[in-house]
Amino acid sequence: MALLAAPQLLVIFGCLSVVYALAVYRRYRKLLESIDDFPGVRTLLSPASKISPFLPPIPGINLGRDFRWDNKYKTFQEAGWDIYAHVSAWPDKRVGYSLADAEAIKEMALNRAVFPKPQIRLIEIYGPNVVTTEDEEWKRHRKVSAPAFSERNNKLVWQETVRIVNEIFAEWGDKDAVSIPHIVDVTLPIALLVISAAGFGRRISWREETDAKPPPGHALTFKQSITTVCNNLFLKVLLPEWIMGLTSKWSRVRQGFYELEAYMGEMIEERQKNLGQPADDADHNKSDLFHSLLVASEAEAASGAPALTPRELMGNIFIFLLAGHETTAHALAFSFGLLACYPDEQQKLYDHITSVVSGGRLPSYEDMHSLTRPLAVMYEALRLFPPVLGPMKKAAQDTTLFTYPASQGNTKGASPEQDQRRPVIIPKGSIVSIHVAGLHYNPRYWENPYAFKPDRFLGNYNKDAFAPFAIGPRACLGRRFSETEAVAVITMIVLRYKIELNPSLFTIIPGESPDATRERLLKAHQVLTMAPANLPLLFRRRA
C-alpha cells in the first residue's frame, strides 16, 4: 500500500486535532454546566498539569505557580463570593474549588467521609505516616503519634532551643552588630538542631567540626545526613531515584537520604533494646519524639493492637522532621523581617519580654504561658505568610457547601446583605482546597488584613479563620512543638539584640513607610513551603 503524501498527513492530523479540540471544549462546557457556571477562574491549562508550574501566568491560559499567593483575596472579590470555582479545559476532567470562607472550611474539615484527603505518596519517602494515610490506617498512626507531643517534649524543645541560641551568642561574641546576609541561614539551622535533639534525641552543636568523621559503617555524620535531607527535600520529591545518580551533586543528595535511613534504622534497633530501662541525662530523660513514638507503638502492641513497623516509625519521624523544620524556620525568618520593618512593634515586644523576664535571668519554660506577645508576633507572621497555601480535599460524593458574598473593603464584619449565604454545588470528584492566603486576608475576619498587627492575636479572634496548622481532626500534631521553639528563639534574641534593616545589603529609603519597606524586603516564594526570597538583617547588641 502506498504511503500517504505529506499534505495528506497534514490534513489528517489537522482533522484529528479539530475533533480532539471539539471534544475537549464539549467536556469543558459540560463541567461548567455541572456547577451552574459558578463564578471563578477559567483557564486552558489545569494547575494539576505537569507543565503548568513551569509556565508563566497567562490570563485565560495558565495561572502560574504563585497565583494563590500573588492574588490572596483578590480573586474572591472578583468572583463575588468566598468560594470560587476553577474550571480548566485540559488535561484535568475535574472542577477545583478554593475556599476562603471559615464556616465552609470548618464544615469540610469535619466532614471527612464526604471530603477525604487525597493520598500524598510523594512524601512517603521512608514509609507511610500520619500525614499520608487515611481512614482506619490514619487513626492507628495518629493514636501512636499524638502522645509523642507531650509536655515533657515541649520542655525539652525549650531547653534545647535556649542551648542552641546561647551557642550562637557565644559565636557572635561582643560584636556591636552582626550582619546576616539572609536570615534563613540562621533560622534553618536552629530548627534543624532543635528537631535533631528534641525529635531524634541527638544533640548537635551549633558549629560541628567541619572535619568530623562519620561513625563506622557510615559515609556521612548524622548532622551531614540530616542537613542534606532537609536542604534537598524538593529535589528528592521531584526527581526519580535513577536520575539522582546522573550527577555527583545529586548522588550525594541520594546518599544523604540513604544515610539518614540507616541512622534511623540503627536508632530503632538500639532503642527497642533499651525500652524500659531507667532514663539518664545522656538521653534527655527520653523525652524526644523518637523515643516516645517507640514507647507508644510498643504499648499498642502490648494491648493487642498492631505496632508500627520500622518503616512506619521511620515514616512518622521523617514527617515530623519535614513539618517541623522548614515551617518553623520560615515563620521565624518572617517574624524577624517584620520586626525590622516595624520598630514600634519591636519595642512593644521588648517591653513585654522584659516585664516577664526581669533581673537579667534567662527565660525558662515556665515563662512560656506569660510570653504572649512573642507568640502573637509569630501568629501574625504566619497569617501574613502562611507556610502552605492550598491543602486539598476530594469530594467523595455530590454535595453542597454554603458561602458568603466576598467582602469588598478592609473593614471587619459584613452588612446584612453580605450575611446572605448561597449554596455552591460540589460535584463528586471535585478537588476542594483551603485557600489559606485568601482566608488570612479576608476582611470578614481580619480588619485591615494587610497590616502587621500582632495585637489582633492578644484578644478574641476567629480561630477558624486562622489555618497555618490546618483545621479539624487532621490539624498539625506538632503545633505546640513549633510554638515553643519560636517563642524561645524570639524571646532570647529580642532580649539581647535589636533587629534592624541591613544597610549594607538593603537600600534604606528615608521617610519610607513600614508597609512600603515590607513590600520591598519581604518578597516570598513557594517551594515546599512559603519562604522569604532574600532577607538581609542586622542584629545590633542592646546596651
What CA–CA distance (Å, rounded) separates 392 from 436?
11
**How far is Cα 407 from Cα 418, in angstroms, rounded to an integer?**
8
Dist. CA 297–CA 302, nearest whole Å:
9
Kindly state the DSSP code that residue 212 receives in the 8-state scheme: P
537-541 and 392-394 beta bridge pairing: unpaired
Place of cell 476582611: 443
Residues 6+ apart with CB under 8 A from 112: 472, 473, 474
Length in residues, the chain: 543
Give one DSSP letter per residue of 12-64, joined into a string.
HHHHHHHHHHHHHHHHHHHHHHHTTT-SEEEEEE-TTSSSGGGSPPBTTTB--
Q: Residues 413, 376: contact at Cβ < 8 Å? A: no
In whole angstroms, what is the distance from residue 201 CA to residue 194 CA? Answer: 10
What's the DSSP call for residue 156? Answer: H
Q: Three-state DSSP class for 540?
A: strand
487 is written with which cell numbers? Answer: 517563642
- DSSP 8-state code for residue 405: B
Helix or strand holding residue 340 (H, E) = helix 310-341
**476 appears as a binding residue in the annotation:** yes
Sequence ranges of the binding site:
476
User: Which residues are part of a known binding site for heme?
Assistant: 476
